[in-house]
């Protein structure tokens, strides 16, 4: 069963596959397409994964992996470095 922390890796992978930047909806789509079975088997996380995906981005911002919200367009997540 996956843990909420794994979503950070999934967000990074989604952003890398999108050339380093993507909308929140694009990141969610990528995660669903690539991890649907993991999410379906994740218990309670299945019901909160889109909220938790945003939590993961906040943690990535704190680690300077994703640009701060003030540095990005609204609704767009961008990697600080590839």
Number of domains in the chain: 1
1 occurs within a structural domain:
no
58 occurs within a structural domain:
yes
Task: Answer yes or no: is pLDDT of 82 > 70.
Answer: no
42 occurs within a structural domain:
yes
Q: Domain range spanning residue 47?
A: 6-78
74 occurs within a structural domain:
yes
CB 42 within 8 A of CB 66: no
The pLDDT confidence band at residue 78, using thresholds 50, 70 and 90, is very high
Give the CA distances from residue 13 to residues 4, 10, 28, 79, 80, in Å, rounded to whole numbers and listed in that order: 15, 5, 11, 10, 14
Q: What is the pLDDT of residues 31-76, one digit of tens each?
A: 999 999 999 999 999 999 999 999 999 999 999 999 999 998 999 9
> Using CA atoms, how far apart are residues 18 and 27, in angstroms rounded to an integer?
9
Nearest to 58 by CA among 2, 5, 3: 5
> Using CA atoms, how far apart are residues 59 and 46, in angstroms rounded to an integer?
20
Q: What is the pTM of this model?
A: 0.94
């Amino acid at each position: 069963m996956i843990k909420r922390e794994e979503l950070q890796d999934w967000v990074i992978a989604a952003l890398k596959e999108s050339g380093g930047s993507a909308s929140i909806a694009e990141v969610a789509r990528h995660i669903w397409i690539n991890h649907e079975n993991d999410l379906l088997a994740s218990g309670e996380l299945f019901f909160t994964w889109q909220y938790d995906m945003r939590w993961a981005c906040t943690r990535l911002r704190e680690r300077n992996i994703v640009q701060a919200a003030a540095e990005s367009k609204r609704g767009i997540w961008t990697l600080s470095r590839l």
